[in-house]
Amino acid sequence: MDLGISGKVFIVTGGGKGIGGAITSQLAQEGAIPVIFDRDEAAAESLRAELGADQVHYQKVDLCDTDACQYAVSATVDLLGRIDGLINNAGVNDGVGLESGDPGKFRASLEKNLYHFYDMAHFCLPHLKASQGSILNIGSKTAETGQGNTSGYAAAKGGVMALTREWAVELLKFHIRVNAIIPAEVMTPLYRQWLDTFDDPSAKEKSITDKIPLGNRMTDANEIAHMAVFLLSSKASHITGQHIHVDGGYTHLDRII
């Protein structure tokens, strides 16, 4: 199936590894031109080398720095002439809980996981108007189910889900579609790092996968990426304001376990 995204320019925040890296890779495979916005230069350059440095571009950006975001967006347009889509992906489940955290850490968590979603969309908007492009936000099931000990991340992802619907309404008149993918348990380097904090990582992983209804396994990052490129493509031309769960039924079907 030709998704019609060949030659189009897509910014992927946190696009050097994990879910973002999988989205970058899938976009490149479909002939698009992904631009990685990430502060992890080693990961981004490694992925560029793997995929082809001529096709995949990189801007080293601290997404918590609003001025840096604005500069990187401008630099991308100066280099490539357009922006056809924004994938707001970067974030970290940083364990800032109600009891374990404090007000300063909570605000910092929102900065790492929510504020740059707005900043990037704001700076990309004039270019998305010109291309009638789209925005894809990566959320998390924690905003719907809770997790415990992660107030900052859950609040931020709740904000992401709300902004998805808000922007979809505001941008209708510009024919800019806005959607969100809601993952649950995805095996990424950060997830593996978290599992390795337990005395028995394999047992902890099994206790999680046993509760994932479809196949009793983690979602693969490539499965998120496949949905991402579809939602960004013209094949999804009448889909906007949606929260799409790619989670093996975890969020809504785990009651059957």
Contacts 24+ apart (CB under 8 A), 204-213: 209/185, 210/257, 211/250, 211/254, 211/257, 212/184, 212/185, 212/247, 212/248, 212/249, 212/250, 212/254, 213/248, 213/249, 213/250, 213/253, 213/254, 213/256, 213/257
Residue 27 amino acid letter: L
Tell me if residue 191 is catalytic.
no
CA dihedral 146, 150, 152, 158 (to 10 degrees): -20
Task: Classify burial at 12, counting beta carbons within 10 Å of its beta carbon; exposed 0-12, middle 13-18, buried 19 or more.
Answer: buried
- Annotated catalytic residue: which of 58, 71, 153, 250? 153
Q: Judge whether 95 and 142 are in contact, CB under 8 Å.
A: no
Structure tokens at 18: 């994990």
Residues with a catalytic annotation lie at 153
